[in-house]
Structure 1
């Protein structure tokens, strides 16, 4: 379960890094409605990418804070997925693309926490 959790967190970090690169390209091209909003989104994306990568590394090294942070991140991603199906611009495809990996990663993180708890202590 730990390998699955690490892999899923790493894939999420890579996906968010790709989205961040896309945001930078849009910023350079001038495809934006507000410079301040675009810069804020870029900074938040960089922070989230770094956090997910750190959580993946921490889970890989057996640190409990990586699992905790990863679980919180999955809950937040799921909340964004729920928001994607509400309102005038509701889109089920985007919601599914966000929710399904979040649920799988959440389950893997819970499973890896249980395994860590069952492991013999030195």
Structure 2
């Protein structure tokens, strides 16, 4: 097994979620063109925010592959939000949108676990986090 396989899985989940948001933005654009929005300005703002979210997820995916801690931490936050959104949909929408709940909840859970495993593995290799035997807290290379 490759040393950072969880990072690849986490990046794939983040990239797929970003791609899903791009698809949603395109669908929103078509709905706006058909006149399904009550306000054109609000519809455009929603599309722009959806694309910003997609760009963020894709940036987190690329950053995770490049072993950037900012990307992993941002990805973890978004996976927790995805799980929370799935649980909120489960408890507050009738009838329950089971497909949405399952896809978003499972993707969020898989992404969260993969990101946490990635953080643990990459943190174990960081010499700044290893303590010297004399207890000073400095790395052995310092």
**Which position in structure 2 is the counterpart of 1:76?**
81
Structure 1 vs Structure 2 CA RMSD: 1.7
Structure with greater Cα Rg: 2
**Which position in structure 1 is the counterpart of 2:51?**
46
- 2:40 pairs with 1:30: no
Per mean C-alpha deviation after superposition, the further-off stretch among 26-35 and 104-113 is 26-35
**Which position in structure 1 is the counterpart of 2:134?**
none
Aligned length: 122
* Alpha-carbon spacing, 1:36–1:85, altered in 2? closer, same or farther (3 Å): farther
Which structure shows the higher helix fraction? 1
**Which position in structure 1 is the counterpart of 2:105?**
99
Distance 1:66 1:9 in 2: 10
Q: How far has the Cα of 1:119 moved from its partner? A: 1.9
Q: Which has the higher contact order (CA 8 A, sep 6+)?
A: 1
Per mean C-alpha deviation after superposition, the further-off stretch among 26-35 and 63-72 is 26-35
Unaligned stretches of 5+ residues in structure 2 = 1-5, 128-140
TM-score by length of 1: 0.90
**Which position in structure 2 is the counterpart of 1:110?**
116
Unaligned stretches of 5+ residues in structure 1 = none
Structure 1 runs of 4+ aligned residues shifted over 6 Å read none
TM-score by length of 2: 0.78
Residue 102 of structure 2: SS of its match in structure 1?
helix
